[in-house]
Amino acid sequence: MTIKHLCLTVLLCAAWSGFAGQTHTNPDTAAADPDFLIQGEYDKPGEGLQIATLSPGKFLLSKLSGGLPGQGWDEKTVAVSTATSADVKTVIEGYKRVQRQSPTLGEKAPAGAVVLFDGNANEQWEGAKLESGLLCEGTRTKQKFQSFKLHIEFRLPYKPDAPLGGQGRGNSGVYIFDRYEVQVLDSFGIHYFPNTHKANWKEAFQRDLGAAASSDRTQWCGSLYHFKTPDLNMAYPPLAWQTYDIDFTAPKFEGEKKVANARITVVHNGVKIQDNVELAKGTGAGGTKPELSEGPIYLQGHGNPVRFRNIWIVPQK
């Protein structure tokens, strides 16, 4: 490899992982950044407010008619603006700061479940790395599964220097059979989906945020990667624990012939965001691979410190 090619490779890796700038993996240390204490969720009667860090000292404000997502918002009316740290102090007057918790957070494994991770080192994962009792990204189950119910809890890093919604903001994914991916990403506070922007969402994003979207909306949290956006963006702020509860029906085969497509339902932080979606093939790069009737669960690693805990799976017949 030439020096020129090596430099290009390094730059591409940097752009993909977004490692430049601040990266906080713990809310206690992140609190040293005053912007972290501003970003988050607020509400008052009849209105929700989500404040996401765009860059140091600058924020995206999304005012939601009726309340917060999954908690009163009409799922279509949103007023978007940007503000500096000084401006935000005026905007939040009359609001109450809230820190929501998923109703399934900490849910215990039921009878018949396979506990994949409970905070202790185990033999369920290939090349598993632990940090302070949490499972790090970039590991795959040794066991293969067919249809299942999966519970998983994840925490995204706080990376205020990376573009909001870009793949540098905590990129990971729950990758089923190495074919079907439920995206994991910090896309908190952005609502450029078909219910709010039926067309020209990229133009609206550019206008509102002052920069082009660096990722497609089918790459944001809760999406079926490069296939379908979530019905609702239920992402919590970075460093808040979040949950996915996934029902997956594996494709069925008679011999080498597929006779039924895979299907998936995803509940994000207690709200259904993907409802029995039919998957005629894999998502993203997984769509280029032949489908399988069984396979592992992969927690993708893309250079971002995403942490997982309380993972269990109930195999289905």
Residue 7: per-residue pLDDT:
37
Interval 269-293 mean pLDDT = 97
Could you tell me if 180 and 283 are in contact, meaning their C-beta atoms sit under 8 angstroms apart? yes
Q: Is the pLDDT of residue 19 over 50?
A: no
Q: Are 145 and 296 in contact (CB under 8 A)?
A: yes
Summarize pLDDT for 198-236 with one digit per residue, the tens: 889 999 999 999 999 999 999 999 999 999 999 999 999
CATH code for the domain defined by 114-315? 2.60.120.560
Q: How far is CA 40 from CA 1, 146, 207, 279, 283, in A?
A: 45, 38, 22, 34, 31
pLDDT digits (tens, 9 = 90+) for 83-118: 999 999 899 999 999 999 999 999 999 999 999 999
Q: What percent of the chain is predicted at pLDDT more than 90?
A: 90
CB 253 within 8 A of CB 299: no
- 10 pLDDT higher than 80: no
Nearest to 14 by CA among 166, 184, 186: 166
User: Does 11 score more than 50 pLDDT?
Assistant: no
Is the confidence at residue 1, as pLDDT, over 60? Answer: no
**Residue 48 near residue 232, CB atoms below 8 Å:** no
Full DSSP string of 118-181: SSS--SSEET--EETTEEESSEEESS-BSSEEEEEEEE--B-TTSPTTSTTTT-EEEEETTTEE
Provide the pLDDT for residue 20: 54
Contact 235, 291 (CB under 8 A): no
* pLDDT tens per residue, range 134-156: 999 999 999 999 999 999 999 99
Instruction: Name the pTM for this structure.
Output: 0.92
pLDDT tens digits along 224-278: 999 999 999 999 999 999 999 999 999 999 999 999 999 999 999 999 999 999 9
CA distance 269 to 170: 17
Q: What's the angle, vertex CA 216, arms to CA 210 and CA 220, rounded to 5?
A: 95
Mean pLDDT across 24-52: 96
Q: What angle do CA 242, 246, 252 make, to 5 degrees?
A: 160
Is 70 exceeded by the pLDDT of residue 55? yes
Q: pLDDT tier at 302 (50, 70, 90 boundaries)?
A: confident
* Residue 124 in this model has a pLDDT that exceeds 80: yes
- Mean pLDDT of the region 18-27: 78
Q: Decide if 70 contacts 64 (C-beta within 8 A).
A: no
Q: Using alpha carbons, select from 303, 267, 48, 37 the residue that is nearest to residue 157.
A: 303
Which segments of the chain are extended strands (E)? 40-44, 47-55, 58-65, 78-84, 96-98, 114-117, 125-126, 130-131, 134-136, 139-141, 148-155, 172-176, 180-184, 241-249, 252-254, 257-260, 262-268, 271-279, 297-299, 307-315
* Residues contacting 308, CB < 8 A, separation 6+: 117, 134, 135, 136, 137, 152, 153, 154, 155, 299
List the chain domain ranges.
31-98, 114-315
Mean predicted lDDT score pLDDT of the chain: 92
